[in-house]
Amino acid sequence: MTVALAPLRLPEPANEPDRGSWGPDLLARLVSPALPRPTIDHGLAGGLRAWLDDGIAGVGRAGTPERPVVGRAGTPERPVVVRDGTLVRSATLARPSALGLRELRACLTRMVFRLTLVQGALRHPLEFEDALCAISVTEHGPELLDAVGRLHPRERASLGAFTRARASVISAQWRPVPAAWLPRTGERLRAPLGGGAVVVHATADLVLGRPSEGAASVCLVRLHDEHRGPLGTARAQHARRALALAETLRSGAPPWRVATYDPGARHLDCDEVTEELLADAVRDVLEALERG
Amino acid sequence: MSAVPALSSEDLASWPISATTPPGSIPRADALTDALLGGTALADAQAVSREVRARLERRLASTVTLAPLTHPRVARIAHHQLTRVLGALLTAGPTALPVPEARETFRWSSRTARRPVGLAAVRLGLDGRAATPADAVAQVMADPCGPLGVGRAGPGSCADWLASLALPARSIVAAEATAWATRLWTSLDWGRLDPRQLSVGGPDRWWRWSGTGPTARIALRGRADVRIRMGASVGGGPSHGAHLVVLDGHPGAAARHGLMLSALVDALSSLRSPESSTVPSRVVGWWPDSGKAWVISVDAETLAVAADAVVVTARALLGAADAPGRADAADAPGRPGDNH
C-alpha cells in the first residue's frame, strides 16, 4: 500500500489549558506552566546510564562472612527487575489464583482512570459493570474476570461499591484529555541496564506531550492508590522517581513532570524533573540491588 | 555467501547477526529516519536471493526428512515463533530446544488489536485525514469494516471483533491503539520519506515451501510496520528498500534473527514478483518501551544466517530431533518442491 503523504506536523501540547472550561481539575494543574520547561542536557541520560552500569558491575561482589555476597544482579537471560525502586521477583502478572481483592481493586481503579481520560465519566450506576466490560478485552482480561467471578458475593458487592466510589472521585477530578496533547494511557517503560542484567520497569497510567525536540516536553502520571501514611508517601515518591528515570533512559530526554495520583486521598503529587530527582532515582535502583 | 557454513542450532550462538544502534541524539525521530534511509542497495540482489532460496530449500528438505510424517503438517513461522525457539536455544543452549507446543489459541484483545488499528490510524494521518493519533483512531473505530478501517471483514477478523464491542471495551481498545499509533506517528520524520514509495502496515508477505510426499510444509510470514522503497528513480540505480519493525519490550537474545525474517521473506518473494517486492538493504527494529533501536544491514551473510534460523525453528516446531551435522552434511541439492 502506498499512501499520499501529507507531512505530519503535530501541534505542541498547549502550555496552558483554558481555565474557564477546565476549572480547578487535576489535568489543568498537571500542565500548568509554573516554571519554564527546561532545556535538555544531551549528556544527562548517558551519564545516568554509565552511573547505573558502574553500580551494577559492583553488585554481587564479595561481602562479609555474615553476608558473603552483597546484592543481587541477574544475567541477560534472567535479568533482575527493579520496579518503583524495589526488587521484584517477576515482571509478569500474578497468577489468577493469587489475585485477591486488593489487586482487583487496583486493576479496576486503573481501568476507571483510563476510561475517564479517554471517554469521560462512566455511566452511573454502572461504573463497575463498564470497567469489567473494558477489562474483558485486555491482555489478561479472562484471568481477571475469572478472579472476580470466584469472589464471595459479599466481596463482589464490596468491590462494586469501591469501584463506584473511585469512579465518582476520578470523574470529578479528571476529564478527557485533548487529542492535541497526545495522551497515551497504560504505557510500559523498560530500561535494560548492565548489559541486560537488570531491567528498570515502570508503568505510566497517563503520558502527555510529544517526544522532546530540545526542551522537556512529557508529563507522566502513575496511579498510586495502595498505601497511606509515611510508607505510602515514600512509595509514591519512589514511583515518581522511577518514572522519571525510565523515561529519561529510554528517550534520552528527562520528562518535564512526573506525578502520582491517589484517588483515595483525592491528591495529585507532582514533581518537576531535576537532576537531583534523577540522581535519587539512580540511588533507589542501586540500593534495591544492594539489598538484594 | 559460500563463506558462510551451514549452521546447526549450536552454531547460531557463535554466528551472530551484527547490529548497530543509531545515535541517541534529540530529536530521536531524526536519528531513526536517518537509520531507515541510510542503506545502500545489495549488489546483485537477485543472485543473492537465489542462493539463499537454494540454501533454505536444501536444508528444509534435509530437516523434514528427519521426521517423516504420516500426514502433511504445516509449520507457520513468524517473528514470534522464531524468536521463541531461538531465544531458548541462544540463552539456554541446544538442550533447551522447546518441545512442539500445542497450537496457541489466538484471541483478539486490546493488545493484539492495537497494531492493526494503530497502523490504519497512522495511514489516515499520512493522508491528511486526521490531525492527531486519537482523532485518527476514532475514525478507524467508527467504521472498522469500512474503507478506512482495519481490513476485510469476516468471521474471526479484527474488523468484526471491533464492531461487536460494547462502548467501554471499544474505548479501551481505542486507548491502546492511540498509544501505539502515537509512538509510530512521532517516531519518524515523515516529511523526509517519499509518499509514493512508502507503505505503512501493508499486508504480511508469505513464502511457502513443501517437499514431495507426506512431509511437512513450511510457511514463513514476513511482517514490517513500515516499508520504504528507494533508488528506483534516482539515476536508474538498483531499487532497494528498508523495513521498520516495531516491537514490544526490549531486544532479546534472538531479536536480530527475528528482525531478519521480514527481509528474508521479501528476498524470497522478490524472485517471484520483483516488481512488487525488493530486497531491503536495512531492517530497523524499534522497541518504543525501552527506546532501543537496532539497525541490521542486509547482505548475503545475514540472509544466510536468517535462513538457517528458520531451519532450526522448523525443526523445533515440527518436533524433529535436532541432529546437527546430519542436516549440514546433506550438501546435495534438495528437491525444490512447491516453493511458491
B167: contact with A, CB 8 A cutoff: yes
CB B246 within 8 A of CB B200: no
The last residue of one of the domains, among B152, B186, B220, is B186
Residue A18 lies in a domain: no
Q: pLDDT tier at A94 (50, 70, 90 boundaries)?
A: very low
| Chain A nearest C-alpha distance from B72 (Å) | 33
Neighboring chain B residues of A183 at a CB cutoff of 8 Å: 134, 178
Q: Quote the domain boundaries for residue A117.
A: 98-173
Nearest alpha carbon to residue A177 among A8, A37, A14: A14
Residue B233 lies in a domain: yes
Residue B90 lies in a domain: yes
Co-location of A234 and A122 in the same domain: no
Q: Chain B, 216-275: which have a CB under 8 Å from a chain A CB?
A: 248-250, 253
Tell me if B174 and A250 make a contact (CB, 8 A cut-off).
Answer: no
The last residue of one of the domains, among B186, B207, B226, is B186
Residue B14 lies in a domain: no
Co-location of A188 and A256 in the same domain: yes
Place of cell 545516568: A48
Residue A132 lies in a domain: yes
Co-location of A105 and A234 in the same domain: no
Tell me if B191 and A11 make a contact (CB, 8 A cut-off).
Answer: no
Co-location of A143 and A182 in the same domain: no
Q: Find the CB nearest A134 among B169, B182, B186.
A: B169
Residue B78 lies in a domain: yes
Residue B12 lies in a domain: no
A3: contact with B, CB 8 A cutoff: yes
Tell me if B195 and A2 make a contact (CB, 8 A cut-off).
Answer: yes
Q: Find the CB nearest B172 among A114, A187, A251.
A: A114
Residue B164 lies in a domain: yes
| Chain A nearest C-alpha distance from B320 (Å) | 25
pLDDT score at A1: 40
Co-location of B312 and B283 in the same domain: yes
Which residues on adjacent β-strands are paired with residue B310?
Answer: none
The last residue of one of the domains, among A139, A173, A207, is A173
Q: Which helix (H) or strand (E) holds A288?
A: helix A275-291
Tell me if A5 and B123 make a contact (CB, 8 A cut-off).
Answer: no
Neighboring chain B residues of A118 at a CB cutoff of 8 Å: 134, 171-172, 174-175, 178
The grid cell for B297 is: 544491514
Q: Percentage of chain A surpassing pLDDT 70?
A: 84
The grid cell for B38 is: 541510510
B100: contact with A, CB 8 A cutoff: no
Mean pLDDT along residues A142-150:
95
Q: Find the CB nearest A184 among B125, B131, B178.
A: B178
Residue A79 lies in a domain: yes
B109: contact with A, CB 8 A cutoff: yes
Domain count, chain B: 2
The last residue of one of the domains, among A140, A173, A206, is A173
Tell me if A8 and B185 make a contact (CB, 8 A cut-off).
Answer: yes
The grid cell for B43 is: 549488489
Distance, CA of B35 to CA of B284 (rounded, Å): 7
Co-location of B203 and B83 in the same domain: yes
Give me the sheet containing B292-297, strands edge to edge: B198-200, B226-230, B240-246, B280-287, B292-297
Measured over the CA atoms of residue A264, residue A267, residue A272 and residue A274, the dihedral's sign is negative
Co-location of A152 and A128 in the same domain: yes
A201: contact with B, CB 8 A cutoff: no
Co-location of B248 and B312 in the same domain: yes
Co-location of A250 and A182 in the same domain: yes
Residue B329 lies in a domain: no
CB B238 within 8 A of CB B41: yes
Which residues on adjacent β-strands are paired with residue B242?
Answer: B228, B282
Residue A27 lies in a domain: no
* Least confident span in A28-37, A64-73, A101-110, A178-187: A64-73
Q: Quick check: A5 pLDDT over 90?
A: no
A125: contact with B, CB 8 A cutoff: no
* Least confident span in A82-96, A174-188, A199-213: A82-96
Q: Quick check: A289 pLDDT over 50?
A: yes
pLDDT score at A29: 83
Co-location of A55 and A121 in the same domain: no
Co-location of B85 and B203 in the same domain: yes
Co-location of B211 and B238 in the same domain: yes
pLDDT score at A238: 94
Print pLDDT tens along chain B (340 aa).
444 445 555 566 556 788 999 998 889 999 999 999 999 888 889 999 999 999 999 988 887 665 555 555 788 899 999 998 888 887 776 555 555 554 567 899 999 999 999 999 999 999 999 999 999 999 999 999 998 899 888 899 999 999 999 999 999 999 999 999 999 999 999 999 998 899 999 889 999 998 766 677 899 999 999 999 987 544 556 778 999 999 999 998 899 999 999 999 999 999 988 777 789 999 999 999 999 999 999 999 999 999 999 998 888 887 754 433 333 333 332 322 333 3
Co-location of A192 and A78 in the same domain: yes
Residue A32 lies in a domain: no
Co-location of A183 and A287 in the same domain: yes
Q: Chain A, 11-50: which have a CB under 8 Å from a chain B CB?
A: 11, 40, 42, 45-46
Tell me if A138 and B290 make a contact (CB, 8 A cut-off).
Answer: no
Residue A215 lies in a domain: yes
Q: Quote the domain boundaries for residue B138.
A: 110-186
Mean pLDDT along residues A147-171:
96
Co-location of B83 and B175 in the same domain: no
Co-location of B214 and B289 in the same domain: yes
Co-location of B234 and B147 in the same domain: no
How confident is the model over A197-245, as pLDDT tens digits?
899 999 999 999 999 999 999 999 999 987 778 888 999 999 999 999 9
Co-location of A135 and A165 in the same domain: yes
3-state secondary structure A79-120: CEEEECCEEECCCCCCCHHHCCHHHHHHHHHHHHHHHHHHHC
Mean pLDDT along residues A258-267:
93
The secondary structure of chain B in percent helix, strand, coil, rounded to multiples of 5, reads 45, 15, 40
Neighboring chain B residues of A7 at a CB cutoff of 8 Å: 190-191
Co-location of B225 and B83 in the same domain: yes
Co-location of B202 and B179 in the same domain: no
The last residue of one of the domains, among B122, B156, B186, is B186
Q: Find the CB nearest B290 among A115, A182, A191.
A: A191
The last residue of one of the domains, among A117, A145, A173, is A173
| Residue B88: CB atoms within 10 Å | 20
What is the DSSP annotation of B101-125?
PPPPPP---HHHHHHHHHHHHHHHH
Average pLDDT, chain A: 85
Residue A245 lies in a domain: yes
| Chain A nearest C-alpha distance from B196 (Å) | 6
Tell me if B196 and A77 make a contact (CB, 8 A cut-off).
Answer: no
Q: Quick check: A268 pLDDT over 60?
A: yes
Q: pLDDT tier at A8 (50, 70, 90 boundaries)?
A: very low
Co-location of B203 and B312 in the same domain: yes
Residue A17 lies in a domain: no
Co-location of B222 and B313 in the same domain: yes
Residue of A nearest to B109 (CA): A137
A52: contact with B, CB 8 A cutoff: no
Co-location of A127 and A229 in the same domain: no
Domain count, chain A: 2
Q: Chain A, 139-168: which have a CB under 8 Å from a chain B CB?
A: 139, 141
Residue B9 lies in a domain: no
The answer to whether the bond into A125 is cis (omega within 30° of 0) is: yes
B169: contact with A, CB 8 A cutoff: yes
pLDDT score at B160: 95
Co-location of A189 and A145 in the same domain: no
